[in-house]
Amino acid sequence: MQALVYHGPGRKDWETTADPGILAPTDAIVRIDSSTICGTDLHILKGDVPEVQPGTVLGHEAVGTVIETGSAVTTLGEGDRVLVSCITSCGRCRFCKEGHYGLCTGGGGWIFGHLINGLQAEYARVPFADTSVYKVPDTLTDEQVLFLADILPTAYEVGVLNGKVDAGDTVAVVGAGPIGLAAIMTARLYTPARVIALDLADARLEKAREFGADVTINNGREDAVAVVQELTEGLGADVAIEAVGVPETFELCTELVRPGGHVANVGVHGHSATLHLETLWIKDVTITTGLVDTFTTPRLLDLIAGGRLDPTPFATHRFGLSDTLAAYETFAAAGETNALKVVLEGEYAVRSPQAKREAVSV
């Protein structure tokens, strides 16, 4: 098969590599119909994730079709169309039993394109298939569900749910990249009074308005704390969601939040940030951190099927799967290309329910 193979920092290629096969009876082999690239893949290519061994196929987000199942797989069969998510669940360890699949100690967690071959490929081996993939309703296209593989559950679980967003809240989202925009989209499910988006890039703030932000602040030019206080009668935001991953934005969130409010950190941090307990100790604030578990994926799928959530605006660019290298260039140059998510479409990508029938009959 052809796949995007990592060859160490700064080096990757779209090349011929071994077809995946069943290694454990709980495995399934999935033909990748649509895949996408994540900011984490760019981190891997910079060498920031040293566990990723040269020779690994990258990618951890896809929609595909089951073509083979191991002898212990009982709920999936050939032809089933499935969402393959960034998190795999063994279904048996303590964390999986509590719904904390991201922390799986039984061989799951974030493994695709990290510890095992990933999903920017024509085919993939999917471990623990019964407990890790989600069947896609016939009525939905690949692009409607593809972003449930990472950004939507991440922003919803680690941002909106950890932050306890509620009706009437003022929600400040710092960082309007794909994760921040997904936080804006899923925060709106709770009817907040207002969503305020903060970013340094005006183009991202424009996107934030398209995704439902009521107010935008360029915190490079404006005094964000003063603007948020003015909007909230001097109190501050009920919830501040950190969706960047640098010390300044974490510290900014702790200044934006009102007494008694929540700071939900989503960003992946590479440097230590200062926790200003000298001002926070008296404010009754709750600060949460987290890795996505994807326990909300079925709920988000229902919201999409019910017409209440539409993640398709995240798809800003489309490429054939074999043009994955060009897709990486476009995605990595988001400042110039305005890319949010680039969709990699295989030969059988489902763009309409009609296409679904053709894909499965092959």
Residues that bind ligand NAD (CB under 6 A): 39, 154, 158, 174-180, 198-201, 204, 219, 243-246, 248-249, 266-268, 290-292
106, interface contact from ligand NAD, Zn ion, none, CB < 5-8 Å by kind? Zn ion
Task: Give the residue with the Cβ less far from ligand NAD, 13 or 248.
Answer: 248
Smallest separation (angstroms) from ligand NAD to the CB of 137 = 25
Question: Which residues from 139-158 bind Zn ion, rule CB under 5 A?
Answer: 150
Question: Which residues from 234-293 bind Zn ion, rule CB under 5 A?
Answer: none
Sequence-separated contacts (24+) of 104-108 with Cβ below 8 Å: 108/132
Instruction: Identify which of 215, 258, 254 has the alpha carbon closest to the alpha carbon of residue 235.
Output: 258
Task: Give the residue with the Cβ less far from ligand NAD, 217 or 350.
Answer: 217
93, interface contact from ligand NAD, Zn ion, none, CB < 5-8 Å by kind? Zn ion
Task: Give the residue with the Cβ less far from ligand NAD, 327 or 350.
Answer: 327
What distance in Å separates the CA atoms of residue 75 and residue 197, rounded to the nearest whole number? Answer: 42
Task: Compute how many residues bind Zn ion; rule: CB under 5 A.
Answer: 9
Find tokens 């490929």 and name the residue: 121
Smallest separation (angstroms) from Zn ion to the CB of 338 = 19
Smallest separation (angstroms) from Zn ion to the CB of 297 = 14
Task: Give the residue with the Cβ less far from Zn ion, 95 or 123.
Answer: 95
Q: Do the Cβ atoms of 101 and 87 come closer than 8 Å?
A: yes
User: In whole angstroms, what separates CA 333 from the centre of its chain?
Assistant: 19
Task: Give the residue with the Cβ less far from Zn ion, 38 or 321.
Answer: 38
104, interface contact from ligand NAD, Zn ion, none, CB < 5-8 Å by kind? Zn ion
What distance in Å separates the CA atoms of residue 162 and residue 287, rounded to the nearest whole number? Answer: 9
Task: Give the residue with the Cβ less far from ligand NAD, 158 or 161.
Answer: 158
90, interface contact from Zn ion, ligand NAD, none, CB < 5-8 Å by kind? Zn ion
Q: Residue 251 is encoded by which pair of tokens?
A: 């510290």
Q: Do the Cβ atoms of 360 and 77 come closer than 8 Å?
A: no
Cα dihedral 85→146→150→253 (10° resolution): -160
Smallest separation (angstroms) from Zn ion to the CB of 89 = 5
Task: Give the residue with the Cβ less far from Zn ion, 162 or 232.
Answer: 162
Q: Do the Cβ atoms of 12 and 115 come closer than 8 Å?
A: no
What distance in Å separates the CA atoms of residue 34 and residue 23, rounded to the nearest whole number? Answer: 24
The reply to whether 96 sits near Zn ion by the rule CB under 5 A is yes
Instruction: Identify which of 208, 213, 174 has the alpha carbon closest to the alpha carbon of residue 194.
Output: 213
Q: How many helices (H) and strands (E) does the chain have?
A: 14, 15
131, interface contact from Zn ion, ligand NAD, none, CB < 5-8 Å by kind? none
Task: Give 234's contacts (C-beta < 8 A, 6+ positions apart).
Answer: none
CA distance to 117, 118, 257, per residue, from 320 (Å)? 20, 17, 44
From residue 101 to residue 130, the character string flagging contacts with Zn ion as x (rule: CB under 5 A) and all else as - is ---x-x-x----------------------
* Residues at the site binding Zn ion, with contacts judged by CB under 5 A: 38, 40, 90, 93, 96, 104, 106, 108, 150
